[in-house]
């Protein structure tokens, strides 16, 4: 514990005082939920798809988050649902980054017809409302965690492309890039140098797009486009309890909704803190 505290202290020390709390809070939220997902088989009190009590039991010592309308323990479904959510949003971020970043570097560096063609395609995708596009792709692919991750990746590829292309356009005319050209460096070496100098931007986009992906994934789950019932998913569980709130069974929807907002907030806080951190470093 002392070692972990020391490591965290060293990490946070580099952040400006104004964003240190955001970084600490974001890291605490995301790491706690990630740990919950990893340890789900050990810490989950019940099977998330087993009827363990009569339906509609309110929160109690035996069931801290209550029991839903079927008889499933809500806490167990929250714990196991964290695995699904993190798998989908992290995989979607990796996929969109793996596609958007290389295309953005190539487009910005080479320019010309290739740049115009890629920019037109990406702008066309970007013009669609993100949720509408995710719904359309998920509806075509069908409900499964992998398909939802692909749907979200399609939505966020243009974000990575546009930001990295902008960085490539800015950097390719700088003196160190001109020097590399004069020294005869091949194009892929120069693009790797541009990519390294864009790492800060990519990292910020990664965290902020992941925060948005949490909400989009929840929306897809709410619409029944994520995974199939009765598998645990926060968006799906939010939907399952929506009609019970007026009957006084608030816990069925409240806890999934709370964790959706909490995880999205955690990634957003990390992204904002990183943005402040890199801004200070750039000014220095």
- Averaged over 104-112, what is the pLDDT? 89
Cis peptide before 230 (omega within 30 of 0): yes
- The CATH architecture annotation of domain 37-282 reads Orthogonal Bundle (1.10)
Percent of the chain exceeding pLDDT 70 equals 92
- Averaged over 265-283, what is the pLDDT? 80
pLDDT at 229: 83
pLDDT at 2: 59
pLDDT at 283: 54
Residue ranges covered by each domain of the chain: 37-282
CA–CA distance from 96 to each of 45, 86, 155, 255, 258 (Å)? 35, 15, 8, 29, 27
Residue 253 pLDDT > 60:
yes
Residue 4 pLDDT > 80:
no
Residue 76 pLDDT > 60:
yes
- Averaged over 195-212, what is the pLDDT? 89
71: Cα separation from own chain's centroid: 31
């Amino acid at each position: 514990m002392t070692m972990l505290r020391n490591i965290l202290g060293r990490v946070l020390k580099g952040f400006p005082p104004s964003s240190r709390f955001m970084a600490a809070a974001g890291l605490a939220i995301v790491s706690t939920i990630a740990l919950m997902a990893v340890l789900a088989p050990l810490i989950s009190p019940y099977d998330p798809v087993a009827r363990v009590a009569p339906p509609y039991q309110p929160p109690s010592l035996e069931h801290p988050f209550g029991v839903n309308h079927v008889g499933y323990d809500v806490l167990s479904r929250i714990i196991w649902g964290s695995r699904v959510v993190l798998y989908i949003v992290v995989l979607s971020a990796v996929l969109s980054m793996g596609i958007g970043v290389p295309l953005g570097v190539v487009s910005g560096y080479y320019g010309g017809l290739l740049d115009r063609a890629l920019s037109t395609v990406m702008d066309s995708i970007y013009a669609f409302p993100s949720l509408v596009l995710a719904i359309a792709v998920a509806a075509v692919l069908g409900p499964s965690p992998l398909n939802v991750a692909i749907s979200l990746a399609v939505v966020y590829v243009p974000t990575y492309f546009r930001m990295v292309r902008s960085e490539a356009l800015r950097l390719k005319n700088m003196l160190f890039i001109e020097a590399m050209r004069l020294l005869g460096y091949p194009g892929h070496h120069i693009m790797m140098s541009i990519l390294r100098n864009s790492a800060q931007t990519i990292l910020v986009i990664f965290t902020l797009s992941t925060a948005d992906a949490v909400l989009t994934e929840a929306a897809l789950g709410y619409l029944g486009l994520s995974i199939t019932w009765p598998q645990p998913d926060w968006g799906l569980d939010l939907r399952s309890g929506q009609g019970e709130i007026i009957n006084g069974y608030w816990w069925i929807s409240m806890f999934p909704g709370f964790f959706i907002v909490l995880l999205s907030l955690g990634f957003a806080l990390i992204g904002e803190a990183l943005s402040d951190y890199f801004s200070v470093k750039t000014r220095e």
